Structures are given as C-alpha cells and as structure tokens.
Structure 1
Amino acid sequence: MSDHDPAAWIGRTETCFDALDPGHVRRVALSLDADPGQSFEHLPLLWHWAFFVEGQPYARLGADGHPRRGGFLPPADDRNRMWAGGRLEFHRPLRVGRPGERRSRIASVTEKAGRTGRLLFVTVEHRYFQDDALCVAEEQDIVYRDPSPPVLEGTRPAPEFQWSETVAPGPVMLFRYSAVTFNGHRIHYDAPYARDVEGYPGLVVHGPLIATSMAHAFLRAHPGARVRSLSYRGVRPLIAPRAFQVGGRLLSDHEAELWAEQGGTLAHQASLRFEA
C-alpha cells in the first residue's frame, strides 16, 4: 500500500508529554471567560484540549495554518479541514502541575462521497495518562472536504432549553482560544482567509470551544455532577461575532442532551452521561 494512500496511515502513533502548567491553566481560564483566580487542583472538563499539543515549525505548516498533512495525519492538502465531533470517557481527573502523557493512534481512514464532493473521515484515538493511570479516553473525528461553499443555515429546529447560556464569540475570544490551544487554523483568526479561501462569511467558532461551552453550561446548571462520558458532533459552523446559545435538557437522572443553537436551529449536539 502506497504512502500516498490515506489508508496507509491507519495504525500510526504519536506520543506527547505535558507538565499541565498552572500558568497556562490561568490563560485557558481567561480565554473562556472563567475566573482565573480560582484554585485549579484538577483540569476542568475538556480543558485538556489546550494541552498535549504537538507543535510544528513554520516550515512544516500548510497554507491553512495547520501542520502539513502526511506526518501523523494522512495527506489531504487540497481539502479543507473540519473538526466533526468525538467521544470521550472520563476515568479520573487530570491534576494540574503534574506531568502527563497523550498516546494517540490513527484508528480509521474512510473516503466517502458527499453532496459537496469528496469527504475523507479520519478517526484518531487519544489516551491521556498520569502516573501510568488512564485519565481520559477520546475518539476524535476529523473531516477533510473538497473546497466548496460551507453549509451555514440550519434546518433542524432546536428543542426547548431547560437551562441555557449565551456565548458572544468576538474576534478576541477566538484569537485567545486559538492561542491557548496552539491552533493555527486561519479560519478562526484571519477573516480574509476564512472568507476568500474557505468560503465562510466571517471567522469560524472553534468546534472544541462550542463543545466546552455546552459542557460547562451543564455543570453550572448542575453543580456537583460528575461527568462520565460525552459524545458530540457538529451540525453546521457558527460564525463570529453573532451570539449563540448553549444549554440542554435532562433525559434521565444520569443522562442529558446538550446543544448549541442560533436563530432557533441546531448547530452542535451532544449526549452527556453523569453521576449526581
């Protein structure tokens, strides 16, 4: 099988270490408009996305600001990248100020034909450890699509919230979140690139930022709940600076449905299991 065949990347691995620096935790808090003065013994839910990042020199970056593909991720340099969704299981909290390790593997690579062209689906398995104990198990879905106008308007009406919060994604918030997650994708901070190259009408809100906002709205509405698992997916992009709402409703004593909506239609969805 040729290295030009994306399926040849199945099984490839990557390892990344991180000290979970308390100073960086404070910067993440500021990027999410959380209280930076609180004491962080453990990393809050989904903040691990701002850690364990394997950066690359400028010479190894593609035109979109991401690392050039063909290293850990399969080659798809002629396509636009989207964070499509994922699944997480939370076994134990990651402790701030303690070294940890991310072990990643390409689990699957699948080519499909969509309404707007070719779609390359890549699923990456991540395992996060401290002291050789598994803390978080994650599957992340990435989609590479042929350059084409993105679908921006929602068609599925959002359910009625039991709790909700409003997020106002200004350019400073998107820049800060790009910075703390070391995410170079230009659609999040370079408006001319987002508009003229990838076809968005403005800056695009990060999928992980939306998922984090949904999860923390749940935790603020249900203090004391311990999240055991989260499954989420993007339905359509959200464009800054227009505000959007995150929230959800309980399905049982241990399960909740979360979503982000704008203009009354769904943009992101999630299913969350928890212990009270």
Structure 2
Amino acid sequence: MASEWPEDGFGDWIGHKTRSVETIRPDLARRFAVTVSDQDSQFRTGDPAPIGIHWCIDPPVFTSDRLGPDGHPKKGEFLPAIPLPLRMWAGGALTFFHDLRVGETVERTSTIESIDRKTGRSGELCFVNVRHDYATDRGAAISELQNIVYREPSHGAAAPSIPDLPAPDSLRHADPVLLFRYSALTFNGHRIHYDYPYATSVEGYADLVVHGPLQATLLMMLARERLGGLTSFHYRGVSALTCNQDFTLHAQKGADGLELSVADAKGVVTMTATARDNSAPGQRAASEFRPGI
C-alpha cells in the first residue's frame, strides 16, 4: 500500500477546483422538506429554502463507467486517487451569511484545500479537506469546509461508550425509505446507504448507514429552532448510525454555543455538533467568517 503513494503526497491536487450552478426549484424544496421533516410544505419563488438543501444543489453527475465499486465516482475524478479502500464524510464546518431562497440560482465553487496522511489506531488514514463556497446574486451565502477521510477496513473495533445525554429534543426513525429518498435528492450512489449485502459484507456495517449530511441537517434544523437563527455550525461524525432503529436528537447550552448530538437506539452518539447564532446587532462582517475545525 505504501508504494502507491506518490512522493509529493498528492500535493499537486491541492487547489484543484470545480464549479457548478443550479436554480433552487420549488419542487426540489418540497421534496427535501418532506424527506427531512416529514411535512409536506408548498414553496413559492422567493421563499426561504430549507436549511441543508445546499447539499442537493447540482450534485456531481457521472456515467456508470466512471463509478467505483462502492458507488462513489472513481478516484482521480475531482478527488485524488488515495490508495485506501474506504471513504467517509467525516464532518465539516459551515458559515451562513444569508438564507438561500427558492428560485435563486446558486453557484458552488469547490476547492481541495489540504491532504494529510496519518496513522491512527485503526491503521492508515488520509484526510482530504474540501472548501465549498456557495454564492447567489446577493453575494456569498454559505462557506463550508468538508472533511473526508480515507481509511483501511477496521477489525475488532472497541465498543463505543454510552455517555450521559440531556433529554432528547426529538425522536426520529431511520428506515430504508428515508435513506433512499435522501440518496436520490443528493444523487449519492454510495452503496452503504441502499445495498444491504455490500454495506454489511464489504464495508462491515451492521445495517445500511444513515448519511452524515442527513444527520447534520436534522441537527441544523434543531439548532435554528433553539437559537432563533444560525450563523455557524461545526459537526463531526463519531460512529455509524445504522438503519432500522429509532434515533434521538439532543441539544444543550455549552460554553462555545449550543452543543448538539445524535444518538442511536442504544444511546451511542453518532454525531456531535456546535452551533452559534451571531446575527445579533454588532456581529462581524460576513467576510470575516471562515469555517474552521
């Protein structure tokens, strides 16, 4: 495996960019809202779009011959050909400058910012950070830093601990229909979300896997409800949330903002997040905000 790494560690991929443009249609907003909130809302041009819909905007499209065995685009398309077999969306950080609106045209510019090779308890890892900037005619809308991790298969992982959590704010259920709908909205072909034999036999999960961005969207919805607004959101996946079980959303006030988490039916935390609303008078200018980890 080590011989497959180039001498520069894929340094020539840093700065690699891609751009895409799409208009947020009322029907997309409706399908997204009914998927994440289970409420059938009608949207008209000019209405605020649901939070989290940016992950559905003009997803990359590849013909089947350009897909890898896991359903992702083959390595070496936009992302480098990291010589590790498994890829996960590990977390990220978002800064919100203004709401996206139905009927607006949104341009996304994606840039590879860093590639770091490390060794952890589970073996060799590679972290790829991608910056996504979303803009409309009204200016910068969202700035996102996405953390992607490539890893080797894990064997005999220790059982995760079960922490004390505040009372749940919301109870949801993960079923295959929810995962199918979200995969369709985001044009996500990763087989762990819909192919049970692949998810369990190849990647070693207990069941189909709930998307990280879906969990993050539910936490952002909760954060906005609790805070009254949302200007920054940092999240990290800590354990796989698998299908066919209830899961809970939790929020409590913390030293650095609203602390949030997702927990599975056993109480195992699958995602943590911190949210802030700095939209009060006297906030810093939007240009001063940059997502961090």
Tell me if both proteins adopt one fold, taking TM over 0.5 as the criterion: yes
Corresponding letter in the other structure for 1:258? L
Aligned-pair Cα RMSD in Å: 2.2
Residue number in structure 2 paired with 1:217: 222
Residue number in structure 2 paired with 1:250: 253
Residue number in structure 1 paired with 2:11: 7
Q: Which moved more, 1:258-267 or 1:133-142?
A: 258-267
Aligned length: 272
**Cα distance change, pair 38–154 in 1 and its aligned pair in 2 (3 A):** farther
1:207 matched to 2:212? The reply is yes
| 1:48-63 paired onto structure 2 within 5 Å | 48-63=54-69
Question: Within 2, Cα distance between the matches of 1:245 and 1:92?
Answer: 28
Residue number in structure 2 paired with 1:23: 27
Question: Within 2, Cα distance between the matches of 1:214 and 1:136?
Answer: 17
Residue 157 (structure 1) shift:
0.5
Preserved contact between residue 7 and residue 110 of structure 1 (Cα < 8 Å): no
Question: Within 1, Cα distance between the matches of 2:124 and 2:134?
Answer: 32
Question: Within 2, Cα distance between the matches of 1:149 and 1:181?
Answer: 30
Residue number in structure 2 paired with 1:119: 125
Residue number in structure 2 paired with 1:235: 238
Residue 36 (structure 1) shift:
2.5
Question: Within 2, Cα distance between the matches of 1:158 and 1:189?
Answer: 32
| 1:82-231 paired onto structure 2 within 5 Å | 82-131=88-137, 133-149=139-155, 151=157, 153-161=159-167, 164-221=169-226, 225-231=228-234
Residue 38 (structure 1) shift:
3.5
Structure 2 alignment gaps of length 5 or more? 281-293
1:76 matched to 2:111? The reply is no
Preserved contact between residue 192 and residue 208 of structure 2 (Cα < 8 Å): yes
Residue number in structure 2 paired with 1:268: 271
Question: Within 2, Cα distance between the matches of 1:173 and 1:69?
Answer: 28
Question: Within 1, Cα distance between the matches of 2:257 and 2:94?
Answer: 14
Residue 206 (structure 1) shift:
0.5
Preserved contact between residue 31 and residue 173 of structure 1 (Cα < 8 Å): yes
Residue number in structure 1 paired with 2:291: none
Identity, % of aligned pairs? Answer: 39
Question: Within 1, Cα distance between the matches of 2:8 and 2:71?
Answer: 22
Residue 213 (structure 1) shift:
1.2
1:143-200 deviation line (CA, Å, top 9, x unaligned): 0101234858421504323x51112010010011001011000000100000111011
Question: Within 1, Cα distance between the matches of 2:147 and 2:254?
Answer: 25
Structure 1 alignment gaps of length 5 or more? none
Residue 115 (structure 1) shift:
1.4
**Cα distance change, pair 149–27 in 1 and its aligned pair in 2 (3 A):** farther
Q: Which secondary structure does the structure 2 equivalent of 1:102 belong to? A: strand
Preserved contact between residue 43 and residue 102 of structure 2 (Cα < 8 Å): no
Preserved contact between residue 62 and residue 77 of structure 1 (Cα < 8 Å): no
Residue number in structure 1 paired with 2:284: none
Residue number in structure 1 paired with 2:285: none
Question: Within 2, Cα distance between the matches of 1:157 and 1:251?
Answer: 16
Preserved contact between residue 68 and residue 77 of structure 1 (Cα < 8 Å): no
1:33-67 deviation line (CA, Å, top 9, x unaligned): 44232436122222211113121111100000010
Corresponding letter in the other structure for 1:195? T
Q: Which secondary structure does the structure 2 equivalent of 1:243 belong to? A: strand
Residue 77 (structure 1) shift:
5.7
**Cα distance change, pair 4–67 in 1 and its aligned pair in 2 (3 A):** farther
Residue number in structure 1 paired with 2:36: 32
